[in-house]
Amino acid sequence: MKINTIKTKAFPDQKPGTSGLRKKVTHFQQQHYLENFVQAIFNVASNLKDGLLILGGDGRYYNSHAIQVILKMAAANGVKHIMVGENGLLSTPAVSHLIRKYQAIGGIILSASHNPGGPDGDFGIKFNIANGGPAPTSFTDAVYDISQNITEYKIAETKDINLEQQDTCYMGAMKITVINSVTDYAGLMEELFDFPKIKSLFTSGRLSMCFDAMHAVTGPYAKEIFSKRLCANVGAVINGIPLEDFAGGHPDPNLAHATELVSRLNASASAPDFGAASDGDGDRNMIIGQNFFVNPSDSLAVMAANAHLLPGYKQGVRGVARSLPTSRAVDKVAESMGIDCYETPTGWKYFGNLLDDNRITLCGEESFGSGSDHIREKDGIWAVLFWLNLIAIKQQSVENIMRSHWLRYGRHYYTRHDYEALDSAQADKLIKELRAQITSLIGNNYTGYKIVLCDDFSYIDPVDGSVAENQGLRILFDNDSRIVFRLSGTGTEGATLRVYIERYISDPAQHDLETQTALSGLIKIANSISNIKQRFNRDAPDVIT
């Protein structure tokens, strides 16, 4: 096998964001662009020469080509063994589990998560470390530094590997194992949840479900787990065939994009009892009941309050963590249970140290992600199974479970307003100006909402002492309401400004308000403080969740 050393020049824009490097497909298709970044990963993760690498992606356009390139570069860089998913498919949670189960050095995940796919869509690549979680900032900074000074990369000159069937082969001295994408992950789920109890709901006809895989990676996982192992109703899995362009859809499990699922759950006569969806790479989830949407922040709180009822969590919850923008619903549960609740920056990597140090059992983000100590990523199928198991135990509907929770802990009305594809310079200017004036807002009173705290959130990791600054501008009011402003790190074009708005109400008589109505006063305050609509000439947010 011939190893070629290819001369190259650095690209200035290869700094990883919250979840790796994400760009348009056409950007990745530039000569040497993908190869430069992959070589930088191999240079930093030099211990792969003696170990195992997990490789897979969500099946989006350019995945197949990228996998073949990475295999050839891995062989050229002396990687000992690679496990790759059949047809190149592996969900992000599955990669995390495989890294941990087989004690791999790390994993390369090819995905742009919930972003659109296809030739004109988005592509992404990230590295997960030996604990199964996203690489820390120290690793990604090192990758970026190398990418800015790279002059060459190594790649093997050899044929592509057949990924369409499970097999073992060699590329030079490197062993390649093409594995079933689903089996190991499904086995882990059976250890955590009471499959016989859930199965009895379906076989007895007491529950029907609809899971929307959104033509993304979770289709095979859903068919194996829900349809085959749990014997869910006929047609329980929709859009279950992974497609390179996600059938032209947007694989983001929310009310704005999972419209087919929402319409089915809102159909009065034929609606399933339970609905769920996952995203492009399988780490996000949406839970809904008949005409009833579960806010992801509320979902995390319900999980924390009820985890001890499930087989995999009988020993209880050690602690919980949520990202800064996530509502404080789980804080109320933690306070009641007498356990710690950590507030972290956005990005799953911040939960990794807390999980590894056994400080927390559950964690979650408002962006439709939740997880536990079973892996080091958020996990969409896991969340769906958690809710199914809880329904089987409580013998209650999604809505009744949620309303019982509000009755005990109060309700946190919550919304996120996304302003997408903004001019990056103007968006940065807005945040800079808000940061400059934010402390001066303390004490201001806006029609019954008095500001008691304003700051630019910073986080000191309680495990390793690392510091993350400028993570989001938060405004706290004297009635437990909040507004948070931050720029997203997952976009590929322009800037995305996210505004998070939260209002806590303990009175059960006010738990039936429409969310945007309940938050209308705070929405006006947010715009008054930031002047977003006038600055960017936007009549309304692009997405409301």
What residues pair up with 418 in beta bridges, in sequence order?
A: 498, 543
Question: Using an 8 Å Cβ cutoff, are 60 and 22 in contact?
Answer: no
Distance between CA atoms of 265 and 261, rounded to whole angstroms? 6
Distance between CA atoms of 516 and 439, rounded to whole angstroms? 27
Question: Using an 8 Å Cβ cutoff, are 100 and 196 in contact?
Answer: no
Q: Hey, what amino acid is at 93?
A: P
Question: What contacts 475, CB < 8 A, 6 or more positions away?
Answer: 438, 441, 451, 453, 454, 482, 483, 484, 529
What residues pair up with 362 in beta bridges, in sequence order?
A: 320, 372
Question: What contacts 65, CB < 8 A, 6 or more positions away?
Answer: none
- Nearest residue to 497 via CA among 343, 325, 349, 323: 325
Token couple for 183: 């089996």
Give me the active site residues, please: 113
Written as one string, the DSSP assignment of 179-242 is E-SSHHHHHHHHHHS-HHHHHHHHHTTS--EEEE-TTSTHHHHHIIIIIIIS-PPTT-EES-S-
Question: Using an 8 Å Cβ cutoff, are 404 and 393 in contact?
Answer: no
3-state SS class at 74: helix
Token couple for 514: 């429409």
Written as one string, the DSSP assignment of 206-221 is S--EEEE-TTSTHHHH
Distance between CA atoms of 144 and 134, rounded to whole angstroms? 15
